[in-house]
Amino acid sequence: MRTSHSIAAALAAGFGLACAECGASSSFLYVTSYPPEGAVGKVTTLKLGDTGLESIGASEACGPYPSWLTQAGDILYCVDEAWPSPNGSVTSLKVGSDGLLTKLSSLPTLGGPVSTIVYGDGGRGLAVADYSGAGIQTFNIADPAAIAALQTEAFAVPADKRPSPQDQSRPHQALLDPTGDFLVFPDLGADLLRVFKVDKATLQYSESTPLEFDRGTGPRHAAFYTTESKTFLYIINELQNSVTGFAVAYNDDKTLGFQQVYNATTHGGTDPVPAGTAAAEIAISPDKKFLTLSSRLERSLTYTVANGTQVPSDPLITFSIDGETGVLTHVQTAPAGGVNPRHFSFNKDGSRVAVGLQADGRVVVFERDTATGKLGKTVAEADVPGMPNFVLFKE
């Protein structure tokens, strides 16, 4: 979906170029997009170099509604939500030296897969969160060209069923804890963090004690943070527009314990967020000093695109992390570059942040000060066909 503020120069160049001090090195960015009406979604390869952000190819191999990528070396695992099909799929894509993608293998999943994570000895397992399918799945990816199904588990409808999206279980992310011993899945529909103990050798899992949230919270995504002696988990809650932090304990009975250490709105206080807001992504910076999150549909800020036009923008909000207490302190609220920043990611050294703006059909790359955690000026931006929902650096 494009807005009337699309970048003229970008369109003229085929998704376009806009750059400020891009630097001497190049890197690839991979962007998944929901399709414009009547079309097919794609995985777009963008090249970030001295000349800007350039589209060098787009693949339809993932399926019509691609929405998440997980990198394992030179392989990308992509999920297709496949609306309105009752099933989705997971596909392995080989990254060539030119940055372009080749399909290797694909298998069906439960409906609406939205997130994956690699786990197990040798990175041989892939866990999938199925949002509309109300369940989770695991696959053996020892041979990326021959993905094999392992376990599938569909969850019961919550006893106190609520209106959509809490009319059923809705796992929204697959996440591995820092030890690799546990898979966790924030379940937006059931208000749970579902926890599973992993056998790293066999790739099998068994259900452990979940973390329960008040009904109406809507846990969406999460991020682990570790120090030399402590582990914390931060969960962004879509329906409540809040962030909750927990100190994590590894219990003798092979379960995880959670003690709440922080709870505030996505802006870091108690004041209500704007009506219609929907919290989205959360991530820890590569140096493990800061936490950044995205908040959608606020339109509370403005951003100047490459042609000089000012457009409404949602925020990216950054906090510093107290490594002893787990408490977050607000550092910056900055424009995300447009509306509906469904996903963002850091590059390897944390000096840049790429944002996928679903409502504006745009990807924006920002400078980032690794000492302060603050976003700076725009490095590059480009229009991407459809509705970009995920963006990944591959350097």
Model pLDDT, residue 17: 38
- Which pLDDT score is estimated for 26? 58
Lowest mean pLDDT among 13-17, 84-88, 263-267: 13-17
Mean pLDDT of 346-366: 97
pLDDT band with cut points at 50, 70 and 90 for residue 16 = very low
pLDDT on residue 4? 32
Give the pLDDT band of residue 52 (cuts 50, 70, 90). Answer: confident
8 A C-beta contact, residue 77 and residue 101: no
Task: Say whether 8 sits in a helix, a strand or coil.
Answer: helix
Would you say residue 6 has pLDDT above 50?
A: no
Reported pTM: 0.93
Q: What is the pLDDT of residues 99-142, one digit of tens each?
A: 999 999 999 999 999 999 999 999 999 999 999 999 999 999 99
Question: CA angle, corner 289, sides to 222 and 258, nearest 5?
Answer: 40
In the CATH scheme, what is the homologous superfamily, with its name and number, of domain 8-394?
YVTN repeat-like/Quinoprotein amine dehydrogenase (2.130.10.10)
Residue 211: predicted pLDDT: 98
| Burial letters 119-147, b for 16+ CB under 10 A, else e | bbeeebbbbbbbbbbbbbbbbebeebeeb
**For residue 175, what is the enclosing H or E element?**
strand 175-176
CA distance 12 to 52: 14
Q: What is the mean pLDDT of residues 376-385?
A: 96
Mean pLDDT of 260-272: 96
Neighbours of 153 (CB within 10 A): 16
**Tens digits of residue pLDDT in 157-190:** 999 999 999 999 999 999 999 999 999 999 999 9
Residue pLDDT, tens place only, 215-251: 999 999 999 999 999 999 999 999 999 999 999 999 9
What would the two tokens of residue 40 be? 């097919």
Q: Is the bond leading into 84 cis (omega within 30 degrees of zero)?
A: yes
- The rounded percent of the chain whose pLDDT value lies above 70 is 93
The confidence score (pLDDT) of residue 23 equals 41
Cα separation of 177 and 183, whole Å?
A: 6
**C-beta separation of 30 from 45 below 8 A:** yes
CB contact burial 70-95 (16+ within 10 A = b; e otherwise) = beeeebbbbbbbbeebebbbbbbbbb
Return the bridge partners of 187, or none. Answer: 171, 192
